[in-house]
Amino acid sequence: MPKIRIEGGHPLSGIIPISGAKNSVVALIPAAILCDETVTISNVPEITDVDDLENILIHLNAQIKRTKERVEINASNIINKEITETLSKKLRASYYFMGAMLGKFNKVDMYFPGGCSIGARPINLHLKGFELLGAKITEEGSHFIIEAEKLKGNKIYLDFPSVGATINIMLAAVKAKGKTVIENAAAEPEIVNVATFLNNMGAKIKGAGTNTITISGVRYLHSCFHEVIPDRIEAGTYLIMGALIGENLKIDNIIPNHLEALIAKLKETGVEMEIGLDNIVIKETNKYKATDIKTLVYPGFPTDLQQIMATFLTQCHGKSIIEETIYENRFQSLLELQKMGANVKIRKDNRKATINGKTKLHGTDVNSTDLRGGASLLVAGLIASGTTTIDNISYILRGYDNIVEKLQKVGAKIEII
């Protein structure tokens, strides 16, 4: 199995261009099947989640043309057949084919999705939404057949503002009869990017980005050209690297607004940044003081940056407390950081962790436990003394476009072995 090897202590200088957002493109690609003409999506990141979605489209007989950063999809001849367990379990976002196939054919046959094991991650809110649109669900183990005579708009209150459920209900509702209102909807920027894509194809969606989304069903969706927004989590990851070991490091092609919570927290610790229209520059590192983090839904502090921020907090003077409110099992990577010398304590209920800093990290062999956990170890390896070797890197490559190449270009001593 390939591994990533890093020699720590080499400053990062230059420009890091941010790619398209994983958590948007993985919804845009399934959503494209709702259209019976060719759609073009640009700024597509080179990540394995996109490869896995492409394989599902090919399995369904869609025409797909992929070039650097761009994908063209024509689903006018796709076949409504079972999406196999293997294909379904490759990634979490395969669940977006539930809403899209239901919206297109009033029927979908697939399995419970895959994804990082950072919690139970049920899909009850997705299923509840489909039922309220008039669908009947047959569930056998992890196998789901969801079908409806005709989907009909309805009012759907989400018990939790789930990103996946909000998008999946939107996909099922765009061609349903009448009006759907999603209340307590999630408001992440990726949801706005997906709603804009659907509206560009002729859908009638209002309120994306707020907690109330209204969808008036339409009969037909036409072709369009759409761009994926920059990846705020990828940008946040490099920004934290810059705060730790940057010298004139520019994080480029970003929407700073999408990083407000992170920027505020980094400033609290003493990080100095120059924030431009679509970039942030870190001129030099500093001495940082501890702070507390509580993960929340957008625009709160993103859970997807929690583990990477934990690495940063090991380099801050004093005691920091992290409270993880979204997932019940997202501290596993801290145990790997401990192997590198981090001083961390995880509370029994696995919802809070304490980090005492500043501690000197040293390179060793560590395992990626999940996508962001892997990234948090990569950040640690950049600042640790000696050499760090990271295993299970397929987790990292699922969500970071050419991360090794991008870091080599700004001076990191890093390679895949």
239 binds ligand EPZ (CB under 6 A): no
Among 103, 240, 399, 414, binds ligand EPZ (CB under 6 A): 399
Q: Tell me if residue 116 is catalytic.
A: yes
Tell me the closest approach of the beta carbon of residue 136 to ligand EPZ, in angstroms. 18
97 binds ligand EPZ (CB under 6 A): no
Backbone angles phi, psi at 238, to 5 degrees: -70, -30
Which region, judged by CB under 6 A, interacts with ligand EPZ, from 50-58, 121-129, 194-202, 258-266?
Answer: 121-129
**Residue 206 neighbours by CB distance under 10 Å:** 13
Tell me the closest approach of the beta carbon of residue 275 to ligand EPZ, in angstroms. 23
Q: How far apart are CA 174 and CA 63, in angstroms?
A: 22
Q: Assess contact for 205 and 174: CB atoms under 8 A.
A: yes
Q: How many residues bind ligand EPZ (CB under 6 A)?
A: 27
93 binds ligand EPZ (CB under 6 A): yes
Tell me the closest approach of the beta carbon of residue 87 to ligand EPZ, in angstroms. 16
Q: How far apart are CA 413 and CA 345, in angstroms?
A: 30
Q: What is the 3-state secondary structure (H, E, C) of 25-39?
A: HHHHHHHHHHCCCEE
Among 92, 104, 232, 258, binds ligand EPZ (CB under 6 A): 92
Q: Build a one-symbol-per-residue string for 336-375: x at contacts with ligand EPZ by CB under 6 A, - elsewhere.
A: -----------------------------------xx---
Cβ proximity to ligand EPZ: between 168 and 180 the closer is 168
Q: How far apart are CA 151 and CA 32, in angstroms?
A: 19
Tell me the closest approach of the beta carbon of residue 270 to ligand EPZ, in angstroms. 27
Edge-to-edge strand order for the sheet containing 212-216?
155-157, 179-183, 212-216, 204-206
Among 45, 99, 134, 164, binds ligand EPZ (CB under 6 A): 164
What's the N-to-C CA distance of the chain in angstroms? 9
Residue 329 exposed, middle or buried by CB count within 10 Å (0-12, 13-18, 19+): middle
- Residues 362-401 as b/e (b if ≥16 CB within 10 A, e otherwise) read ebeebbbbbbbbbbbbbbbbbbbeeebbbbbbebbbbbbb
104 binds ligand EPZ (CB under 6 A): no
Tokens read off for 228: 């994926």
116 binds ligand EPZ (CB under 6 A): yes
Summarize as ranges the residues that interact with ligand EPZ (CB under 6 A).
22-23, 26, 92-93, 116, 119-126, 160, 162-165, 186, 303-304, 326-327, 371-372, 399
Catalytic residues: 116
